[in-house]
Structure 1
């Protein structure tokens, strides 16, 4: 037992070293992407009483001071007047109208506020939530695998390091968006689920996810839904708490949209897949035939995620007959495709990777007994 405890401490120390090295390399490889002005604009708009012209100047000046020349020039469309990025950077009204697309990521904006207030520059404050989230991510994964495999510490450590080195996760840690933060929160949620923590704790984590990326409200409601159904199937009991928490989540979601004057999903879809409007005014509209055409164009390119999702779901149903585990895997699988139907961008793995990760972890959890027999 003492040897097991000592070996666990050694692996924990090794993981700390690896995570620290990756934190540094991720920081050095940070990419000043075109989303950064939107998040900085959201922060300054909430914190400072700047007019629209001052807002744009403050945002782009602070980025230009720190960003590599090529990153900044790409961010402003290489100063080409016909480029959308340049137009947004040069027209304060157009920039201001883009802010609601970013300000709804409330928890991410709050962390930018926090890091800037304790002394970091505003652009670095945009990166820190993801860099720190990636650092924590490894320890969460290790804790999950340790709980699943118990004494198989080497296996838990190996799987953790393998996931940390996967390029998409590394990429999420280097870009100015809340996707790595979302991934670490959703991983924390999974740990809470397999630890059988109370639904109220799981709900609070899901609420943080919704405050970070409001589109995860569908997954949150799906989870509360299967919680209700599971209790009903197992004892014909009506779980009032899951109903009340669902109402709270819907209310919070609607308040986030209302307070931030969010245009709505049709506008996001139109601006992303049909035409990027320079001024977001009026309701965006498109036909069902346009929507179907875009879905069909992109569904084939979704094959990598589809293959992995089907594989993980198959593993779950093959290795376990536990109703709860199967229901969890099924809602994860369905939510991947719901997200695709709302935002059919197969090349943007960052929108799907958190759910795909949870589906993989669920498959590992389902196959834990088989894996234990095959390892030492």
Structure 2
């Protein structure tokens, strides 16, 4: 995988930058512009941006008992950017991609009929999730270790964010045998665990990477 240039490896660099922003406590505006950049590069990562804004809003609501409306506005901006990119470049919809990838490859996406059903979708998800056990075990152990070692609410929320994004990604594109679709979030969970260990045992400092 290291020898092949893929969009997932390219976006991974920006997600590492995102983690640096988290550790360095960048301003909300800087983080928003980074999310815009991530969405511009990979429109399908709009779900990651939206889930982060939701997680941040939840944290503020719990700690400060208030709703940050600017986070809602930022989420709307990400959605608009995503739809604008899809429209401008005439990308096929998610159902088209799913159908051609997991049900039946069509010769012409725009002209050949698509017999997509939700029953067929859930049947594929059921079959694919069985072969997803290695990644499930890995992310579950990482999340358990983080929760066991840290009581910090923000750390726990962020870790749940990365954990959930593995399955959000899977639900949209259940290629259970392709690690490259999910490894970025596995690595982000690993970084969170290393950060927790560093804080708990006063060991190495992750902020050196920034």
Normalising by structure 1, we get a TM-score of 0.52
Say which of 343, 353, 362 aligns to 2:183: 353
| Aligned equivalents of 1:333, 1:279: Cα separation in 2 | 36
Match in the other structure for 2:145: 315
| Aligned equivalents of 1:355, 1:339: Cα separation in 2 | 10
Q: Which has the higher Rg, Structure 1 or Structure 2?
A: 1
CA contact (8 A) 1:301 1:347 kept: yes
Please report how far the alpha carbon of residue 291 of structure 1 lies from its aligned counterpart in structure 2 after TM superposition. 1.3
Say which of 155, 159, 170 aligns to 1:329: 159
| Aligned equivalents of 2:36, 2:10: Cα separation in 1 | 13
Say which of 50, 54, 60 aligns to 1:221: 50
RMSD of Structure 2 on Structure 1 (CA): 1.7
Unaligned runs of 5+ in 2: 205-210
Q: Which is bigger in relative contact order (C-alpha 8 A, separation at least 6)? A: 2
Match in the other structure for 2:99: 270
Please report how far the alpha carbon of residue 367 of structure 1 lies from its aligned counterpart in structure 2 after TM superposition. 2.3
Please report how far the alpha carbon of residue 234 of structure 1 lies from its aligned counterpart in structure 2 after TM superposition. 1.2
Alignment of 1:68-83 (within 5 A): none
Please report how far the alpha carbon of residue 186 of structure 1 lies from its aligned counterpart in structure 2 after TM superposition. 0.5
Please report how far the alpha carbon of residue 208 of structure 1 lies from its aligned counterpart in structure 2 after TM superposition. 1.6
Please report how far the alpha carbon of residue 257 of structure 1 lies from its aligned counterpart in structure 2 after TM superposition. 0.8
CA contact (8 A) 1:214 1:253 kept: yes
Please report how far the alpha carbon of residue 277 of structure 1 lies from its aligned counterpart in structure 2 after TM superposition. 0.9
Say which of 63, 66, 90 aligns to 1:234: 63
Look up the SS of the partner of 1:367 in the other structure: helix
Q: Give the 4+ runs in structure 1 shifted more than 4 A.
A: none
Normalising by structure 2, we get a TM-score of 0.90
Match in the other structure for 2:78: 249
Aligned pairs, number: 203
CA contact (8 A) 2:146 2:192 kept: yes
Unaligned runs of 5+ in 1: 1-170
Please report how far the alpha carbon of residue 326 of structure 1 lies from its aligned counterpart in structure 2 after TM superposition. 0.5
CA contact (8 A) 2:197 2:203 kept: no
Say which of 17, 24, 29 aligns to 1:195: 24
Match in the other structure for 1:367: 197
Say which of 295, 312, 316 aligns to 2:125: 295
Match in the other structure for 1:183: 12
Please report how far the alpha carbon of residue 226 of structure 1 lies from its aligned counterpart in structure 2 after TM superposition. 1.5
Look up the SS of the partner of 1:329 in the other structure: helix
Distance 1:240 1:288, change over 3 A: closer
Alignment of 1:7-156 (within 5 A): none
| Aligned equivalents of 2:139, 2:79: Cα separation in 1 | 27
- Residue by residue, what CA displacement relative to the aligned partner does 1:315-362 show, whole Å, maximum 9, x if unpaired? 111111111111111111111111111111011111111111111111
Distance 1:373 1:361, change over 3 A: closer
CA contact (8 A) 1:186 1:206 kept: no
